[in-house]
Structure 1
Amino acid sequence: MYKVGEFVFDYQRAELGHQGQVKKLEPQINELLKLFVENPGQLVTKEQIIHLLWPNRIITDDAFRAVIKKLRRSLGDSAKEARYVRTLPLKGYILIAEVSVLPSKARPLNHLRYRLLSIIALILLVLFYLFSGGTVIEPKLEALTKVAGSEVSPSFNSKLNHLLYSHRAEKDDYLQLYTKSLESGEITQLTFGEANFANAYFSYDGSKIAFTRSTATTSDIVIADYSPQTGLTNYDTLPQAVSSQRYLQSWRANGQGLYLSDAKKPLTPQGIWYYRIDNQTLQNITSPGGNGGGDYFARESHNGRWLAVLRNSDSQSHELLIQHLASGELSHITLLPKAFNRLVWQQDDESILLSSFHSDFAQYNLTEYELHTIELDIPHLNDVFYGCGKHCFYARQHNGNYLDLQYLANPFSENSVSHFGFHTQLGAQDFPIMDKISDKTYFVTKQFGRTELIAADRQTSRVLHTFPRDSDFSALQLNAEGRKLAGIVDGRLFVFDLEKDAIKFLTTSLEQVTTPVWVSNLDNLHYARLEHGSPVIYRYELDTQITVREDVGYFAKIKVSSSETLLLDDALQAWYQKDGKKRLLAKLQSVSSNRWLMRGEWLYYTTRKENLAYLERVNVYTGAIETQFLAKNRYRLNFDLSTDAEVMLAVRSLLAQSDLVKIEY
């Protein structure tokens, strides 16, 4: 914590306090101010700032000047009469205000005063409400659809005043496309047949619809003419060379083409592509580097001037990039406080609405270069798809209950299993693990606005640890003795000691780690760390707390015997190795250690072919592969098997009741 002139700067909280008032700082401004206070009275060059805020990026001068302007505005400063940040032409900037370090445990007087004033204001507000008969203004929610079942991948065209969405009434039904006129209320089914129709988008003028059609064997991107009178006509399927391994994103504003994104692949960041319809050409728009997931969402402004892109730049960093299409320059680059997964342009093209799966919303203003969070106490609200005004948008709301855990017989077992059942708690349960010694089950659940690590038996369940609501788990594993859990949450590897009820993080947010696997009969843990785009296996010894670098180019290795090893390489190929010789077994679909495991001489793993889920296994000695069907429309494929491989514990997808809604706030 620092005293900067008349301000108190709390970097950990991203807060700036002044005369009893405390305000939050945007992530970029927080980092920039920290750079200055760590170098008081010293020259900070433009190159230093760009390297800190936009590593490996080319940005416009407008974007650079905007962050300096926002910092000065936060400090009540100006370039002409600088009291905090002075400009040295052609050189850089100097923090000229006095800087001192405050004790870390001390809370500044103005911060405490602010808290006290906030409490008093809250009490007065409550008293006013109770005794004056006043009302508290709350966000207004209006249902746009009220059909039993689930509506997903919504779109809206303001010229037609029509909704477009995919719907199914039961979990195992195919998704079909529907439109609804908000003027007449009439609902029209556009597609039929044994295929899933989803990710549909109106062209900006409403004359065409692009969508994805998928079956168990094929997935196509289709363009069709649309009118309210005739529905869909004149279908045109994109070439497989274009649509294969790419997702449909959105239309070009002029209707001449589509934006696509790369499908997710391990070690390969996603990029954005543009497909021009008339000459069937494909152009790469973005090609991000680094260890992040890359560019996963793109939308063009209504006037065709800007392209907004959401980027995962590393394991925990997300950015909003806005490119000026005519010049190709990045005019806006903003660090995001949350992992927003969807955006829409407001009709005036001066601001962008963003949403996350966990009911987080924000608005970015292009003129002010500022991001403002939108505080809404509405559960299970996501997928913003239309901006209907300064304080108005359309989104999707579901009931929050979309994943359960299911016990069932191993589909490959020849024996009957007497116990079946479900963990049918509210919320969403995932990453199931069966204790091989007791009858306990461990899993992760999202409910009541939080993420919890749970231990359960047949009668009771207990919360082991509570994480923030938007925490993202990618793995959970139990050691052979049933005493310790290892997992990855928000990109960090942790170990939870079940005897001490204590959690310990082993890696930082700056590292990118995956695939934790316990070493049999030892208190050692293997995991993979991504280094320069390649996985490297590390061994962590819990007793000595020593980390050892072991193998390059592999995500996992499991000892089958003293001379036999199972390896998973960087192409997700599983290999059987004996006495230094390797034999290919199978290609897996996921690096997650909750998607595959060894039992006896079999490697079990889950796969998905479009909307169909399967359990497969390969014999490590003979190479024989067997396949069993699991379910339709199952999209979370984490599982576990009992020690004797007779019982399977799997994640079961539910039909989360959902509707499209209008929010005014």
Structure 2
Amino acid sequence: MKKVAESMQSKPIVWLIGEWRYHPDNGLLKNNNNEVRLSTQLNLVLSLLIEHAPNVVTRQQFLDHVWHDKYVNEDALSRTIAELRKILGDSASQAKYIKTIPKKGYQLTQMIEPLKARNVRVTKSVGVLLFTVSVLLLSVYFNQQESMESTLQTALAAASRVTFQPGMEQQSELSEDGAWLSYVRNDEQGSQIIIESMLDANQQQIIQLAHHSLSSPVFLSDQNLLIFTAREQSQCHLKSYHISKQLFVDLGTCFFNAESRTIDWNSVTQKLYYADQAVGDGEALVGISQLDLKSNEKSRLTFPASSNQQDWSPRVSPDQKYLSFSRGNQSVRNLWIKSFISGKEWPLTLGEHYSVSHDWYDDDHIVFDSDLSGSRQLWLLNIHEKSPVLLGAYGAQHPSFDQRRSTMTFQVVSYEANIWMFDTKNKSYQRLIHSTKYDNYPAFSPNGTQFLFSSNRQDQSSIWIYDFKQSKEKLLVTLPNVKLTRPSWHSNGRDILITTNDNKGYGTLVFNSETLQTHTLDFGQGHLASREYQGVFFALAKSKEVNNKILQLKAGKVTVLPPQSVSRFMILSDGRLVYSSSVEAGLFIYDPLTEKSQLLTPSVRMSAMNLWTAINQAVYFDLNSNQSAESSGIWRLDVTTGDQTFITSHRPYSVGTSLSVNRAEDRLLITRTDRAESDVLRTQLQ
């Protein structure tokens, strides 16, 4: 195909579409900040829009030219247009590139022109003619040789639900023969592992273990054996369960994760690959281990550089040459690969994104979920080219294939996090922010009349503001292809510090709420969660050179403060810093004058890093008491006296900062995940 295009012209046409440069020969879209390679379907859709511009392309034209003889409904087109808009930084309500023409189709609204090479004059008519011929040849080529991504996209569009129960059904995994599906169901009764027949939905096995949380099931159908992880309090146990014998066997210790898978089984090597915790250089490191079930021999395969990075989600390639896994923390997780032959390991993806799970499609390709485009979708990655291609499926994670790659399952997740307010005077509790999306990171204004929050209502995190006088919320700041989170107020009550996350990494945007002007804070490196105190700025370092340390920006000079392994920090009214640690439970206080830290309270779990806040000379934190349910809830700690006071049994629970208190300390904002739903879907690839 490339040779045909090159024979037509010395250089393939590159189109200017607004701020984007579009290469239709290979689907590459580039601007000053981003570079995306479009999947086959997205490429053909954009090509068709350009070919007909400025005329409308009807829905039937799209279906005929893009999907050919495949049977899909118009929902597939709508999803593809939505994905293309997302990449372009466009929206249906304020179309800059693709306009919806009701009951007809879609129209490209931007002026287009071919990018002219220096000293070469190409008329627009010739360029359009060559481009049209190129599109036709592309269409014929893709019709004759259905590409891998097209196969997967078509399959995703045709997926049907396997599970229908309320609650969370997750970590779905197909058995190698494709006959059985195992997954975890979490509901009010706790966690269960379900093994369900793909041929007869009435054939089910339900496995429970009293006083244990269960995760990462793998069903060895030829051995009638289930392998999984089980957590009892803080201890993780790798276990097997023989279905017919109804016998549990403890295989050793492990690392427990309720979101991402931590186990993989390979029938060729007869080995189990799983996440485990070991001590190295005085730190507890989470890496991938392997266990030979025949000889019971165990060995460690991966070693992250520090405890700030953890390895899980192991997968062995079909040809047994590579071990793939995810490496990162609670904010950023990239895919890595290790060669079983050379022993070397290297990253497959880079940047500030989060991957929950992945699986191998063949010896050279991985399907993984990620929020690369802002919302979680599935992507296809060639391990040699390392250029991800968007497949689609909003909210999808945990892709899984049978051994023949004829059947695929995946999980679609939907969360609803709302912001509630507790009034300490009248003890009232009411919901202020309610949507079907994720609303979190609440932050009271200095005068307490407003609060900021982050929401993904537009599929990408933006900053919103709520006004108590008007009892109304409105969109404040949104940027294309940039995630905006962790808003905090400047003490002047006018400027707002916002964490930005794009392909360049983390940074800070300063937004003036009166003039609507913006500028950035320069800490000289990646950073997030910026805060201000008396004209001095602080942030949490997120770079290769410095990570999980507090940065101070004063009079243009950046200083790295002594505290290590900081997961979050806030500033008291006297300038001291309260922080939580990623390697030790409790809250700590750092005094910039003495440059010393000390333990403030041991009562905050490491996993509760987002469930506390500081205001004035007090810290509010969530306590999960094992001794008494009555003492569980939000507590106030007076930093000056050391006194602790119970505030409310209403508790925060969400991803991201979930608690904010006004300066009068009579109102608490609490973020709760009020709804978490997920179902498993199945589709046929052959």
After TM superposition, the score normalised by the length of structure 2 is: 0.66
Decide whether the 8 Å contact of 1:14 with 1:24 is kept in 2. no
Residues in 1 aligned to 2:29 and 2:279: alpha-carbon distance in whole angstroms: 33
Map 1:214-233 to 2 at 5 A: 214=231, 217-227=233-243, 229=244, 232-233=246-247
Decide whether the 8 Å contact of 1:386 with 1:395 is kept in 2. no
Is 1:644 aligned with 2:669?
no
Map 1:363-442 to 2 at 5 A: 363-365=380-382, 369=385, 371=387, 373-376=389-392, 378-386=393-401, 393-398=408-413, 400-409=414-423, 415-418=425-428, 420-442=430-452
Q: 2:520: which partner in 1?
A: 505
Letter in 1 for 2:287: G
Q: 1:47: which partner in 2?
A: none
Map 1:468-617 to 2 at 5 A: 471=483, 473=485, 475-490=486-501, 491-507=506-522, 511-519=525-533, 522-529=534-541, 532-533=545-546, 536-540=549-553, 546-549=556-559, 551-553=561-563, 556=569, 558=571, 560-561=573-574, 565-568=576-579, 573-575=587-589, 577=591, 580=594, 583-587=598-602, 589=605, 595-606=611-622, 614-617=633-636
Residues in 2 aligned to 1:24 and 1:609: alpha-carbon distance in whole angstroms: 54
Is 1:250 aligned with 2:268?
no
Residues in 1 aligned to 2:639 and 2:129: alpha-carbon distance in whole angstroms: 63
Letter in 1 for 2:472: T
Moved more, 430-439 or 296-305: 296-305
Decide whether the 8 Å contact of 1:638 with 1:651 is kept in 2. yes
Q: 1:179: which partner in 2?
A: 195
Is 1:24 aligned with 2:43?
no
Residues in 2 aligned to 1:306 and 1:151: alpha-carbon distance in whole angstroms: 29
Which of 257, 274, 288 does residue 259 from structure 1 map onto? 274
Letter in 1 for 2:249: Y
Decide whether the 8 Å contact of 2:16 with 2:113 is kept in 1. no
Is 1:446 aligned with 2:456?
yes
Decide whether the 8 Å contact of 1:164 with 1:201 is kept in 2. yes
Residues in 2 aligned to 1:106 and 1:313: alpha-carbon distance in whole angstroms: 44
Decide whether the 8 Å contact of 1:515 with 1:591 is kept in 2. no
Give how far 1:327 is off.
Answer: 4.2
Give how far 1:469 is off.
Answer: 7.0
Give how far 1:342 is off.
Answer: 1.4
Decide whether the 8 Å contact of 1:576 with 1:584 is kept in 2. no
Give how far 1:361 is off.
Answer: 2.2
Give how far 1:268 is off.
Answer: 9.0
Residues in 1 aligned to 2:472 and 2:464: alpha-carbon distance in whole angstroms: 10
Residues in 1 aligned to 2:605 and 2:166: alpha-carbon distance in whole angstroms: 33
Decide whether the 8 Å contact of 1:404 with 1:430 is kept in 2. yes
Which of 143, 149, 152 does residue 170 from structure 2 map onto? 152
Q: 2:360: which partner in 1?
A: 345
Which of 636, 642, 661 does residue 681 from structure 2 map onto? 661
SS in 2 for 1:447: coil
Letter in 2 for 1:485: I
Which of 81, 97, 108 does residue 115 from structure 2 map onto? 108
Identify if the C-alpha distance between structure 1 residues 208 and 461 changes in structure 2 by more than 3 Å, giving closer, same or farther.
same
Give how far 1:626 is off.
Answer: 5.9
Decide whether the 8 Å contact of 1:446 with 1:469 is kept in 2. no
Decide whether the 8 Å contact of 1:427 with 1:445 is kept in 2. yes
Residues matched between the structures, number: 545
Identity of aligned pairs, percent?
13
Decide whether the 8 Å contact of 1:204 with 1:255 is kept in 2. no
Give how far 1:396 is off.
Answer: 0.8
Decide whether the 8 Å contact of 1:575 with 1:586 is kept in 2. no
Map 1:64-83 to 2 at 5 A: none
Residues in 2 aligned to 1:386 and 1:295: alpha-carbon distance in whole angstroms: 22
Q: Deviations over 1:454-481 (max 9, x none)?
A: 11235322111224578374x3212234
Q: Deviations over 1:520-557 (max 9, x none)?
A: xx34321233574565544446xx7x344263336557
Map 1:34-49 to 2 at 5 A: none
Map 1:280-359 to 2 at 5 A: 283-289=299-305, 293=309, 295-302=311-318, 304-312=320-328, 318-321=334-337, 323-330=338-345, 334-335=348-349, 339-346=354-361, 349-356=363-370, 358-359=375-376
Give how far 1:316 is off.
Answer: 7.4
Identify if the C-alpha distance between structure 1 residues 394 and 471 changes in structure 2 by more than 3 Å, giving closer, same or farther.
farther
Residues in 2 aligned to 1:261 and 1:25: alpha-carbon distance in whole angstroms: 40
After TM superposition, the score normalised by the length of structure 1 is: 0.68
Is 1:621 aligned with 2:636?
no
Give how far 1:594 is off.
Answer: 5.7
Residues in 2 aligned to 1:386 and 1:632: alpha-carbon distance in whole angstroms: 37
Give how far 1:402 is off.
Answer: 2.5
Letter in 2 for 1:480: S
Q: Deviations over 1:412-468 (max 9, x none)?
A: x5x433462241112111111122425322111112433221112353221112245
Decide whether the 8 Å contact of 2:287 with 2:304 is kept in 1. yes
Give how far 1:622 is off.
Answer: 4.0
Identify if the C-alpha distance between structure 1 residues 536 and 355 changes in structure 2 by more than 3 Å, giving closer, same or farther.
closer
Moved more, 380-389 or 142-151: 380-389
Q: Deviations over 1:341-386 (max 9, x none)?
A: 311123x5453221225343223346x756551433x432222123
Residues in 2 aligned to 1:225 and 1:371: alpha-carbon distance in whole angstroms: 40
Q: 1:201: which partner in 2?
A: 218
Letter in 1 for 2:343: G
Q: 1:132: which partner in 2?
A: none
Letter in 2 for 1:496: F
Q: Deviations over 1:621-642 (max 9, x none)?
A: 3445567755597665521012
Identify if the C-alpha distance between structure 1 residues 662 and 534 changes in structure 2 by more than 3 Å, giving closer, same or farther.
closer
Residues in 2 aligned to 1:578 and 1:372: alpha-carbon distance in whole angstroms: 45
SS in 2 for 1:175: strand
RMSD: 4.9
Identify if the C-alpha distance between structure 1 residues 632 and 145 changes in structure 2 by more than 3 Å, giving closer, same or farther.
farther
Give how far 1:498 is off.
Answer: 1.3
Identify if the C-alpha distance between structure 1 residues 234 and 472 changes in structure 2 by more than 3 Å, giving closer, same or farther.
farther
SS in 2 for 1:449: coil
Decide whether the 8 Å contact of 2:180 with 2:198 is kept in 1. yes
Which of 465, 479, 495 does residue 455 from structure 1 map onto? 465
Decide whether the 8 Å contact of 1:261 with 1:270 is kept in 2. yes
Letter in 1 for 2:264: W
Gaps of 5+ in 1: 32-104, 126-135
Give how far 1:582 is off.
Answer: 5.7
Identify if the C-alpha distance between structure 1 residues 255 and 641 changes in structure 2 by more than 3 Å, giving closer, same or farther.
farther
Letter in 2 for 1:24: L
Identify if the C-alpha distance between structure 1 residues 179 and 324 changes in structure 2 by more than 3 Å, giving closer, same or farther.
same
Decide whether the 8 Å contact of 1:494 with 1:507 is kept in 2. no
Q: Deviations over 1:292-315 (max 9, x none)?
A: 845443211345442112345999
